[in-house]
Amino acid sequence: MLKKLGLSAEEFQKIMANPPVSHYAFDYEKPLDIRYPVLKPIKKIYRAIKPVKKRGETKL
Q: Considering the entire predicted model, what is its pTM?
A: 0.38
Q: What pLDDT is recorded for position 43?
A: 82
Spatial distance between the Cα atoms of 37 and 33, rounded to a whole number of angstroms: 5
Q: What pLDDT is recorded for position 29?
A: 65
What digits encode the pLDDT tens for the residues 8-59?
A: 999 999 999 999 988 777 766 677 777 788 888 888 888 888 877 777 666 6
Please name the residue ranges forming H helices in the chain.
2-5, 9-17, 32-35, 40-49
In this prediction, residues 4-8 reach a mean pLDDT of 91
